[in-house]
């Protein structure tokens, strides 16, 4: 039922009705897995569900190559690692760039989705694969937001959770900087109301500008400064008598490169859709508020943050640690790199993930705790 | 020789040759003062030279109204407070929006300036007013950068300095976020290469976008979140089935308001010119490097920072404190407000400025120290 190891598999999940009441007809979710499934697909098993970040994809063995594999922290000789592409993305799951049932791109017809919608779609994909439960869900950034929602929407399906570099809801600052990114895309004349996919032009300039901004929130200012400082780009003079766009500091060239790279692999409308979902991230919505929602979580959850994270400052993970109903552990990455440290500080992440796996083999699971409370059968 | 109290006075300073070798012909610097001058204009006196931030003006009694006035920390019954408008700005000093000698606006003919150029022009304005020395120079943000350059360019003219919420040079992160602001203006079709002043249109949309970004670096994420969180703008629903530009979170409306307000009072080309000067801020340039330059400063200098400053993080002020040749004192504002705390945390700033003034009346001045070393006559 699971796809062959490492291969991209697309799972049809039928219509998805979003939290805000729109419908995505004939949706699909892309999935990959590594390692053999052991145990009961609908009971105790060895599945680790890995949730990717904003522009990530199902290739968790690539973007987390130091973490996932035989003998690594997420040891594919022992664990069955599954990674799904988020609803709204462009790596196999249905999003604005995907084909609508009428044959054109979804474009502006793709509705606004929430983190919860992503998790509902992902759960439907696991249903279609015959997987009723997983040993753990884990992820960072947008993947951490999805992980949190897994523990609230489907606590009976998740034994343990690891939430990295995210918050219980979008902060106003995050909404501000994320909305600036959305605006830079939608104000690109090539945006065409979101229906550019068949026009031969696309808002690449807007997407690149959005990514440049985003990158300044993904990387710590210490790391960026250590790398570039006030150095000029090689062969250019940013200190000339007149400002000129082609006479840059090295950091400008670096950011432009980051922006351009994204336009070569990502769709602008998908970027808007996923960024909008981050704006709407709020585990408290409709659940009596933020802390009541967090307190209701009985899935044992480990929280990880980065000391220099600009986008999701560490106090937001401390907030989670104080308010989660069943905190399994807390860990802090110490790094000049900022938010992206969970992707690049391999040595620290290795230790953290090994600790997490060990804890999941010792502490009672959310299901065991709930069963002891008589909340649902184990 | 000084203008009458509170009135805007414009001082002609002739041609300014910039650090990068361009010429600004027939330049002028705007100035205001409060309190009577006592002492010798060219020797010991009671002048406090206040340096404004990026979009500030000579109205220091307005933007620092809790700080400057009779009986206040900068007590105008005792001190003669002088505030000049920076070269490149649009509040009376020569900038891109000013009239060129040929009668049109300077526009794209206005060269790239540095913080040093601002200080050279300001010193020329004081010369024209007959003022050879000041008791102290002080300022925050861009005003702090100018203050630092005063102590390096004219140590014999400054007895004490107070440098607030700034760094010894632009960091790569600052250059990154500041360049994003410049780009949002210069990519506005109304920019017209910088020569829009007589065209009847101006890049207000780009300037507003720049300000929205900047504002997210001026305000701490804690304060913005405390005020707005995930609240919708009144009467709007940012959680509807489709994303819509007119259905906003409250923080989006707030940032749009900040952007719009700036377009009503500031010129886009001046914003570019001053932001470019911040990109070029580097006290080490041509002086044997950053720390050698800082170490050479003999003017007793107090350093102030804000614990939650995103734009000029506190470690940058700690760097100044470790490397300044003559550190007078160090103080930290504790505030969720971030960078702007030096403008809005009036109670803390009152204490800090009273301490600074008291220290300048106790510690030997830079001139006294230099004279003791035989560097120049007192």
Domains and CATH numbers, chain B: 9-171+282-372 (3.40.50.1820), 174-277 (1.10.1740.110)
pLDDT score, position B183 = 97
Report how far residue B41's alpha carbon sits from residue B132's, in angstroms, rounded to the nearest whole number. Answer: 6
**Token code pair at residue B56:** 């500030």
How far, in Å, CA of B323 to CA of B311, rounded? 20
- Closest chain B residue to A228, measured at CA: B172
Q: Which residues of B are less than 8 Å from A177 in CB distance?
A: 213, 216
Q: Tokens at residue B310, please?
A: 């995103």
Contacts of A240 in chain B (CB under 8 A): 20, 112
B180/A216 CB distance under 8 A = yes
ipTM of the shown complex: 0.94
Write phi, then psi, for B239 (nearest 5 degrees): -115, 20
SS3 (DSSP) at B302: strand
- Looking at beta carbons, which residues of chain A come within 8 Å of B212? 176, 180
Residue of B nearest to A272 (CA): B243
Q: Using CB atoms, pick whichever of A177, A240, A310 lies closest to residue B112.
A: A240
Among the partner-chain residues A20, A186, A250, the one whose CB lies closest to the CB of B240 is A20
- Three-class secondary structure of residue A282 per DSSP: strand
Tell me which DSSP letter residue B219 carries. Answer: S
B213 to chain A, closest Cα gap in Å: 7
- Facing A173 at nearest CB: one of B225, B241, B313: B225
Both tokens of A228, joined, read 């570039």
Nearest CB neighbour to A213, from listed B180, B242, B243: B180
Cα separation, B154 vs B164, whole angstroms = 19
Residues 6+ away with beta carbon under 8 Å from B264: none
What is the residue-level pLDDT of chain A in tens, covering all 378 positions?
Answer: 788 999 999 999 999 999 999 999 999 999 999 999 999 999 999 999 999 999 999 999 999 999 999 999 999 999 999 999 999 999 999 999 999 999 999 999 999 999 999 999 999 999 999 999 999 999 999 999 999 999 999 999 999 999 999 999 999 999 999 999 999 999 999 999 999 999 999 999 999 999 999 999 999 999 999 999 999 999 999 999 999 999 999 999 999 999 999 999 999 999 999 999 999 999 999 999 999 999 999 999 999 999 999 999 999 999 999 999 999 999 999 999 999 999 999 999 999 999 999 999 987 887 777 777 776 654
Residue B49 bridge partners (DSSP): B82, B137
Classify residue A359 by burial, with Cβ atoms within 10 Å: 0-12, 13-18, 19+: middle
Name the catalytic one among B52, B93, B309, B335.
Answer: B309
Arithmetic mean of pLDDT over chain B: 96
pLDDT, tens only, B41-99: 999 999 999 999 999 999 999 999 999 999 999 999 999 999 999 999 999 999 999 99
CA dist A245 → A237, B115, B186, B189 (Å) = 10, 20, 9, 15
**Across the beta sheet with B134-140, what order do the strands follow?**
B9-17, B23-34, B80-84, B47-51, B134-140, B158-164, B301-306, B327-333
A115 in Cβ contact with A280 (< 8 Å)? yes
User: How far is the C-alpha of B106 from the C-alpha of B269, rounded, in Å?
Assistant: 10
Q: Does the pLDDT value for residue B367 go beyond 80?
A: no
d(CA A9, CA B80): 75
Enter the tokens of residue B1.
Answer: 């020789």
- The phi, psi pair for A218, rounded to 5°, reads -85, -30
- Residue B319 appears among annotated catalytic residues: no
Which residue on chain A is closest to B281 by alpha carbon?
A230
Q: What is the mean pLDDT of residues B316-329?
A: 98
- Best residue in A176, A310, A316 for a mutation probing chain B (most B CBs within 10 Å): A176
Q: pLDDT tens for residues B337-366?
A: 999 999 999 999 999 999 999 999 987 887
Is A221 within 8 Å of B171 when comparing Cβ atoms? yes
CA B163 to chain centroid, in Å, comes to 10
Q: Is A340 annotated as a binding residue?
A: yes
Is B188 marked within a binding site? no
Q: Which residue in A336, A295, A354 sits closest to A319, CA to CA?
A: A295
Q: Name the residue in chain A with its Cα closest to that of B180.
A: A213
The string of DSSP letters for B350-362 reads HHHHHHHHHHHTT
Average pLDDT over residues B264-281: 98
Say whether B170 and A230 touch across the interface (CB within 8 A): yes
Distance CA B305, CA B312 (A): 8
The pair of three-digit structure tokens given for residue A121, joined into one six-digit string: 């779609």
Q: What is the dihedral of CA A84, A86, A90, A91, to 10 degrees?
A: -10
pLDDT value for A369: 76
As to burial, measured by CB atoms within 10 angstroms (0-12 exposed, 13-18 middle, 19+ buried), residue A264 is: exposed
The catalytic residue among A184, A282, A309, A335 is: A309
Give the three-state DSSP class for A263.
helix
The widest CA-to-CA distance across chain B, in whole angstroms, is 75
Distance separating alpha carbons of residues B78 and B37, to the nearest angstrom: 9
Q: Which residues in chain A touch residue B18, judged by CB atoms under 8 angstroms apart?
A: 241
């Amino acid at each position: 039922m699971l796809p062959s190891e490492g291969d991209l598999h697309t799972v049809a999940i039928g219509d998805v009705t979003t939290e805000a009441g729109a419908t995505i007809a004939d949706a699909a979710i892309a999935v990959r897995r590594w390692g053999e499934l052991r145990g009961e697909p609908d009971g105790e098993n060895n599945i680790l569900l890995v949730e990717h970040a904003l522009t990530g994809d199902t290739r968790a063995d690539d973007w987390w190559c130091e973490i996932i594999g035989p003998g690594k922290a997420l040891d594919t000789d022992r664990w069955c690692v599954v990674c799904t592409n988020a609803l709204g993305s462009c790596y196999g799951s249905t999003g604005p760039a995907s084909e609508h049932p009428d044959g054109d791109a979804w474009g502006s017809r793709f509705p606004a989705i929430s983190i919860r919608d992503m998790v509902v779609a992902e759960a439907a994909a696991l249903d279609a694969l015959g997987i009723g439960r997983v040993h753990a869900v884990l992820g960072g950034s947008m993947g951490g937001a999805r992980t949190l929602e897994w523990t609230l929407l489907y606590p009976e399906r998740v034994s343990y959770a690891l939430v990295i570099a995210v918050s219980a809801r979008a902060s106003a600052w995050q909404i501000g900087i994320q909305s600036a990114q959305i605006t830079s895309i939608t104000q690109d004349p090539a945006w065409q109301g979101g229906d550019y996919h068949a026009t031969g032009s696309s808002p690449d300039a807007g997407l690149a500008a959005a990514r440049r901004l985003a990158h300044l929130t993904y990387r710590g200012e210490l790391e960026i400064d250590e790398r570039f400082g006030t150095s000029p780009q090689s062969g250019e003079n940013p200190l000339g008598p007149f400002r000129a766009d082609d006479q840059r500091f090295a950091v400008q060239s670096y950011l432009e490169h980051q922006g351009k790279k994204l336009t070569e692999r990502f769709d602008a409308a998908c970027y808007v859709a996923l960024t909008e979902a981050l704006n709407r991230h709020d585990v408290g919505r409709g659940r009596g508020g933020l802390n009541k929602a967090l307190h209701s979580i009985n899935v044992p959850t480990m929280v990880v943050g980065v000391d220099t994270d600009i986008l999701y400052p560490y106090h937001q993970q401390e907030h989670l640690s104080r308010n989660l109903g069943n905190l399994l552990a807390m860990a802090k990455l110490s790094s000049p790199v900022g938010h992206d440290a969970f992707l690049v500080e391999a040595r620290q992440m290795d230790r953290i993930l090994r600790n997490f796996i060990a804890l999941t083999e010792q502490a009672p699971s959310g299901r065991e705790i709930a069963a002891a409370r008589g909340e649902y059968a184990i």
